[in-house]
Homo-oligomer: A and B are copies of this chain.
Amino acid sequence: MTKVTCDMSVSIDGFTAGPNQSADKPFGDGPVDRLHQGEAITAGSAFIMGRNMFGPGRGEWDESWKGWWGDDPPYHAPVFVLTHHPREPVQMQGGTTFTFVTDGIEPALAQARAAAGGGDVAIAGGASTVNQYLAAGAIDELRLHVAPIVLGVGERLFDGVGPLALERVGVKATDLVTHLTYRVAR
């Protein structure tokens, strides 16, 4: 059965990115490299991401922008991008397709579920998108990858979400990062 999962790299104080995202700085200002010292997290049969995770642009599309990841993005699966601005799907190498969804998080999830064909749907980020799905009670399993750093400013996981009860179902410590898996109670 399809599970809705979410893997997020966070600082100890809950930030997933610094402020002031730009084309050169997908994760914004600050020591954000330390957030992403592990492997890229791309386990899912379909993905959903917010527009700001897809690119630094706002407003109407610059059609030449096809994500941060080059010709062969690491998703190798359908990716649904939440946006207010319509755009035709973009087919990349390696099985990644970016489909732009303008009618909200629930239709996006329905499309992703259908595309996942029984596999898991992964909410890829950023924090604002994850927070919307958490607030909607749509995430089954939240996997936090906690880097040993305090950022102090930026995009914050859980903002506007709580209160929420969780069940911790896994803990794993690697060299730098602490991996905490939570099941979200319904």
Contact = CB atoms under 8 A, between A and B. Distances in A.
A149 to B, nearest CB: 6
B171 A171 contact: yes
A136 interface: no
A119 to B, nearest CB: 26
Nearest to A32: B163
Interface in A135-169: 144, 146, 148-153, 157-158, 160-168
A171 B168 contact: no
A168 B164 CA distance: 26
Nearest to A170: B173
A27 to B, nearest CB: 13
A160 B164 CA distance: 25
Nearest to A142: B12
A144 B146 CA distance: 13
Contacts of A73: none
Interface of A: 11-14, 30-31, 34, 134, 144, 146, 148-153, 157-158, 160-168, 171, 173, 176, 178, 180, 182
Which of A12, A146, A152, A176 is most buried by chain B, counting CB atoms within 10 A of its CB? A12
Nearest to A15: B162
B148 A168 contact: yes
Contacts of A152: 158, 160-164
Which of A163, A164, A182 is most buried by chain B, counting CB atoms within 10 A of its CB? A163
A175 B11 CA distance: 24
Given A13-B157, A30-B163, A31-B165, 5 more contacts: A13-B158, A149-B164, A150-B162, A153-B162, A171-B178
Contacts of A11: 162
Nearest to A153: B162
Given A14-B14, A148-B182, A150-B158, A168 B176 contact: yes
